[in-house]
Amino acid sequence: MQRKSWKNLFAYMGPGFLVSIAYIDPGNFETDLQSGAQYKYELLWIILVASCAALIIQSLAANLGVVTGKHLAEHCRTEYPKVPNFILWVLAEIAIVACDIPEVIGTAFALNMLFNIPVWCGVLLTGLSTLVLLALQQYGVRKLEFFIAFLVLTIAACFFVELGYAKPNSSEVLHGLFVPQLKGNGATGLAISLLGAMVMPHNLFLHSALVLSRKIPRSVRGIKEACRFYMIESGFALMVAFLINVSVISVSGAVCSSSNLNPDDQESCKDLDLNKASFLLRNVLGKWSSKLFAIALLASGQSSTITGTYAGQYVMQGFLDLRLQPWIRNFLTRCLAIIPSLIVAIIGGSSGAGKLIIIASMILSFELPFALIPLLKFTSCKTKMGAYVNSTMITVITWIIGSLLMAINIYYLASGFIKLLLHSHLKLVAAAFAGIFGFSGMIVYMGGIGYLVFRKNKKATHLLALATAENGELTNDVGGASMDCLPREDIVSMQLPQRRVTVDVD
């Protein structure tokens, strides 16, 4: 029986790995490289905390879908009035666009390294990713996913091997992992961008929807097994992502703090971005470091594009009950991401584009409460989750995590804005108006968070799972109808055609 149970684990494989792609996308590489170059190993603890928090939060997102048969965006549409629901949808769409900006810039950097194409021109060419999705619909997506995973894991292996050459001080690495510290100007902002790059709002919508594409036995045992296996799968995928991020920071920190760097490499370390990072792998890849790093960067950006397209579809369907073809959805998101990327690339060049990735990651961190709070409220609500409601310990831990994230965001916003006003050369009247608008925005931000935190859930879930004593099958709590509704065909139909397969679980 135990062998059969563990065999079922492979039937659940997939959602966690698709979600984990976001943890090794160009945005993560950029923030990892900069944190290592500027602060050596001091911010490694952020990666550890964010990875542990991500595992708990992503597991809650999967549980919400498995237990209720609805994903997070659908619960928001059911629970909140029209205006708050619309605002949450707009914020979710902004988060998806902010997540797509690093993919755009990362792809542009990759094209620059491969073909010497100007970064601004590469930004425009990223619009062709829509054609890639069209090609996937015709020729199949699964083989390409394996190829993308191979390329990304190859570059990860290169960083692992480079650790042997860079020889980071193990005691310093451990100190950075387990001793929280934020020293120096800009450390808080970079820490926030690391959090934003690791715990992304759109991933919560994505994970809660992806689990609905699997056929899960509607029994107490079947649901508990599914929740457990999804947590195991997420844990393994996030462990790989954690090791990759730690290795990138460690290599960057060790190489850039070395005393025998040549002048060109020293200059690169002062303003390190994806376009200059290939020299870190020179010991492993030699003269091919730039080309192979570019190929892996290109693969990372394209794989993240696929998951971003899925997330966008689920968000639009959940909040608005509106469905678009995958290539249309991708085209709209990509156009919105290209506009700021193109402007910054033209004005600021590759350095400005690299800074835009950091800003996009910070936006994701500020957006996180508006996806995280509904998730915590729904999974802690007995009228929605029934017997599968969060335990008291999980509830306390997740609310502590959420509170810390919100406190850091609000502190950084307030302190950063005050510094900006004090050091700006604006006239007194202009500074006063800027202060009024700025602090009004912060009040609105905190008010929105307060509304989500203190509003009581008013809607019971019609798909609440209850087991009958006779056969252990699940029935609807309001009508007694069969709950044998997974996989959700409407969810499966929104994925690319070659992924429209479901896996039966014994």
Q: What is the pLDDT of residues 34-80, one digit of tens each?
A: 888 888 899 999 999 989 989 999 999 999 999 988 999 999 999 99
The answer on pLDDT for 117 being more than 60 is yes
Among 407, 312, 411, 423, smallest CA distance to 368 is for 407
Tell which residue, 360, 323, 335, has the closest CA to residue 488.
323
Q: What is the mean pLDDT of residues 110-126?
A: 88
Q: At what angle do helices 72-79 and 289-320 cross, to 10 degrees?
A: 30
Contact between residue 305 and residue 131 where contact means Cβ atoms under 8 Å apart: no
472-495: pLDDT as tens digits: 444 444 333 344 456 666 666 666
3-state secondary structure of 410: helix
| Range of weakest confidence among 114-118, 134-138, 210-214, 381-385 | 134-138
Mean pLDDT within 74-99: 93
Number of helices (H), then strands (E), in the chain: 23, 2
Question: Which amino acid, one-letter code, is at 178?
Answer: F
Q: Quick: pLDDT tens for 306-324.
A: 788 888 889 998 998 887 7
Q: For the segment 395-438, what is each residue's pLDDT rounded down to a tens digit?
A: 999 999 888 888 877 877 777 777 777 776 667 777 777 778 87
**Structure pTM?**
0.84
3-state DSSP call for residue 381?
Answer: coil
Tell me, what's the pLDDT at 153? Answer: 74
Bridge partners of 474, per DSSP, are 467
Q: How far apart are the C-alpha atoms of 113 and 337, rounded to whole Å?
A: 21
Which residue has better confidence, 71 or 14?
71
Is the model's pLDDT at 210 over the cut of 70?
A: yes
Helix (H, G, I), strand (E, B) or coil at 49: helix
Predicted confidence band at 351 (pLDDT cuts at 50, 70, 90)? confident
| Range in 49-63, 95-109, 135-149, 230-244 the model is least confident about | 135-149
Residue 376 has pLDDT above 90, yes or no: yes
User: What's residue 91's pLDDT?
Assistant: 95
Q: In this predicted model, which residue has the larger pLDDT, 487 or 266?
A: 266
In this prediction, residues 327-352 reach a mean pLDDT of 82
Mean pLDDT of the 87-112 span: 90
- Does 377 score more than 70 pLDDT? yes
Average pLDDT, the chain: 80
> 413 with 442: CB under 8 angstroms?
yes
Q: How far apart are CA 213 and CA 218, in angstroms?
A: 14
Residue 5's pLDDT is 60
Map residue 365 onto helix, strand or coil: helix
Judged on CB neighbours under 10 Å (0-12, 13-18, 19+), 272 is buried
According to DSSP, the residues that pair with 476 across neighbouring strands are 465
Nearest 5°: the CA angle 247, 250, 251 is: 85
Domains defined for the chain, CATH in brackets:
2-496 (1.20.1740.10)
Take residue 406 and report the two structure tokens written for it: 């919100």
- State yes or no: pLDDT of 503 exceeds 70: no
Share of residues in the chain with pLDDT > 70 (%): 83
Q: Select the more confidently predicted residue: 481 or 375.
A: 375
pLDDT at residue 138, as a whole number: 59
Confidence category of residue 449, pLDDT binned at 50, 70, 90: very high
Q: How far is CA 407 from CA 58, 127, 477, in A?
A: 21, 37, 38
d(CA 145, CA 151): 10
* CA 227 – CA 149 distance, rounded (Å): 25
Judged by average pLDDT, the poorest of 112-121, 250-259, 264-273 is 264-273
Cβ–Cβ contacts within 10 Å for residue 411, how many? 12
Q: Which of 85, 423, 148 is nearest to 296 (CA)?
A: 148
Q: What are phi and psi of 116, to 5 degrees?
A: 55, 30
Burial 198-236 (b: 16+ CB within 10 A, else e): bbbbbbbbbbbbbbbbbbbbbbbebbebbbebbbbbbee
**Entry field: residues in the chain:** 506
Specify whether the CB–CB gap between 165 and 288 falls below 8 A.
no
CA 296 to chain centre: 19
Residue owning tokens 């060790």: 254
Percent of the chain with pLDDT over 90: 21
Helices (H), 117-212: 119-125, 129-139, 142-166, 170-178, 187-198, 201-210
* pLDDT reported for residue 452: 94
Residue 4 pLDDT: 55
Q: Which residue has the tokens 């570059």?
A: 155
